[in-house]
Structure 1
Amino acid sequence: MRAVTFTDFGGPDVLAVDERPIPEVPAGHVRVKVHAAAVHPLDTVARAGWLGPMVPAGPTYVLGVDAAGTVDEVGSGVTDFAVGNAVLAMSNWPQTKIGCQAEYVVLPADFLAPAPAGVDFEAASTLPLNGHTAAQALKILGRKEGDQIVVTGAAGAIGAFAVQLALHQGLRVIAIAAPEDEPFITGIGATFVARGGNSADAVRAVAPEGVDGVLDTAGIGAGVIGAVRDGGSFVAVTPPAMPPAERGIRVGLVQAVADGAELTELSGLVDSGRLTLRVARTFPFEQAADAHALLAKGGLRGGVVLVPRG
């Protein structure tokens, strides 16, 4: 099978498309024929060698956390999926190094979920990691129905899911995003605040008493924790963006893990129209370097996706 790989650390030019053995299917696992696989910052930092001992030099790695495709084979004991089912999946890549940017991937059955019925595989592949990150961050944030939260980077890949999930959970959302994103933000029912300047002051202008929590997908960190009321909560999506705790505010970090039951719920929310999937651009495996370069530019409104064939 063909797969997107790298052996040496470096820029996008170190990526290659190699032939790899088709993986066997142990008990409790499913082999997925991959139709689309999203590209994430995790892929670019792994390729660049920035994950330290988590990704040591030497081996050849297959990249990719997310996959959308069809079930090719099921292992013994698997009853929830059958050959031909359209599915989504997420790999816990930092721990396992099982990459989804390949023609086939084998994962535990409880990492999989039925794919949304009304979208193509390219769009569906943008859901798992970002959807899990948003959902699990909201759980860590620990707010109840009626609470008011801020989501930074609210039009981005994780932030947009977080806003929509929070609204679905009955939270009131102040969304910080670029001015050009205001129609999208207000259209999904959040209160828009333009990014730039002092984020905490901008939020306090809308919510003078402070908000109950902040989900910081944009990495503003200390620049927005001032928007949280005393005793509230704050969740970052990357370790460098975690501000020191202050005023009794609980500060946490989300590191998403695969969860088939949660992914099934997220897929259902796509089907019901409560979650919007967006694709910025699709590339064939052979143009993986171009996909990494585009992602590195930032400012995208939608996922970057690889497909096995052009």
Structure 2
Amino acid sequence: MTYARYGGPEVLEPTEVPTPKVPPGSVLIRVRAAGVNPVDWKIMAGGLDRLMDVHFPVIPGWDVAGTVEAVGFDTPEFSPGDEVCAYGRRDSVGGGTFAELVALPVHMVAPKPRSLSWEQAAGLPLAGMTAQRTLDRLRLRAGETLLVHNGAGGVGRIAVQLGVDRGVRVIATASVRHHGRLRGLGAEPVEYGDGLVRRVRSLAPDGVDAAADFVGGVLADTLAVLRDGGRHASIADPGAAEQHGSYIWVRPDARELHRLGILADAGKLTVDVARTFPMEQAADAFRASMEGHADGKIVLTPFPA
């Protein structure tokens, strides 16, 4: 799937392109599933034009799970047939994962968790590493209390599980219809919106030790519920850095992705997949992502044989 100009889902179209070359230190992956993330359609609309060079026609997509088709010179880490997943963001926008084949350097590629389906593995990399990097930056310790804004989102659900695994008490904001799932993951859910500070304070009267913002627009509420000396980080609000917090932009890192895979295979982490679409229906998948409110990740499956 490609787009030759900025726009909405209507600019996506199936296209025949050459098989990617496989440079030294890289692998060619046959795509079994590709995760859809909001950043994919935001880039397509021109949202990162000031940050990243774009080479049209663009194959979108950064998340992938598949099998190694071939390896480049001096690539002892993998062999053809290996099952892998990757967060395939490059320094420029062009050759993404919404394709039959994608070539990626091995520093982005990790073994696929055995316990996850192809679709779950494709939904793990960006969301999982974003959650992991955020919690690492917050320096969480067992027994502390963490507030997760947008706990029902793709990143938030993984952050809840990572926090629980670290022995942290997790309070997570979400609409009421998601509260049951969040309780099942080990969080104490609270409804977002007006009155959030009061609701959080009713659960943590002395304030929370840390807050992770995965939605944006909640900085004032975050500061109002942090205890003295509390830490906060956001993936959506650069202003967090101006208030003694952190602004997070995750990097491709096979070692960090492998950390998540180990947790998944230990039964401590799962990925909720809400909907799957065939690759040729990527435009419909983008529309579903734009609507929001999904009960998990949206994933693309291969083109028909």
TM-score > 0.5 by shorter chain: yes
In structure 2, C-alpha distance between the alignment counterparts of 1:148 and 1:199, rounded to whole Å? 16
Aligned pairs for 1:116-265 (under 5 A) are 116-219=113-216, 220-239=218-237, 242=240, 244-245=242-243, 250-265=244-259
- Indicate which of 5, 8, 11 corresponds to 1:8: 5
In structure 1, C-alpha distance between the alignment counterparts of 2:43 and 2:35, rounded to whole Å? 15
Question: What SS is found at the alignment partner of 1:106?
Answer: strand
> 1:86 is matched with which residue?
83
TM-score normalised to the size of structure 1? 0.92
In structure 2, C-alpha distance between the alignment counterparts of 1:58 and 1:257, rounded to whole Å? 20
Aligned pairs for 1:58-77 (under 5 A) are 59-77=56-74
Question: What SS is found at the alignment partner of 1:125?
Answer: helix
> 1:297 is matched with which residue?
291
Q: Deviations over 1:135-171 (max 9, x none)?
A: 0011111222221110011111000000100111121
Is 2:18 the counterpart of 1:25?
no
Contact 1:149 1:171 (C-alpha < 8 Å) held by counterparts: yes
Aligned pairs for 1:33-44 (under 5 A) are 33-44=30-41
Q: Which amino acid aligns with 1:218?
A: V
CA shift for structure 1 position 244: 4.6
> 2:303 is matched with which residue?
309
Contact 1:8 1:58 (C-alpha < 8 Å) held by counterparts: no
Question: What SS is found at the alignment partner of 1:17?
Answer: coil
- Indicate which of 260, 263, 267 corresponds to 2:261: 267
Q: Which amino acid aligns with 1:99?
A: G
CA shift for structure 1 position 96: 5.4
Question: What SS is found at the alignment partner of 1:293?
Answer: helix
In structure 1, C-alpha distance between the alignment counterparts of 2:14 and 2:220, rounded to whole Å? 41
CA shift for structure 1 position 97: 3.7
In structure 1, C-alpha distance between the alignment counterparts of 2:215 and 2:56, rounded to whole Å? 32
TM-score normalised to the size of structure 2? 0.94
CA shift for structure 1 position 26: 1.4
Contact 1:34 1:67 (C-alpha < 8 Å) held by counterparts: yes
Q: Which amino acid aligns with 1:86?
A: E
Question: What SS is found at the alignment partner of 2:268?
Answer: coil
Q: Gaps spanning 5+ residues in structure 2: where?
A: none
Greater shift after overlay, 188-197 or 161-170? 188-197
Q: Which amino acid aligns with 1:33?
A: R
Is 2:102 the counterpart of 1:105?
yes
Q: Gaps spanning 5+ residues in structure 1: where?
A: none
Contact 1:36 1:121 (C-alpha < 8 Å) held by counterparts: yes
Identity %: 38
- Indicate which of 37, 50, 53 corresponds to 2:50: 53
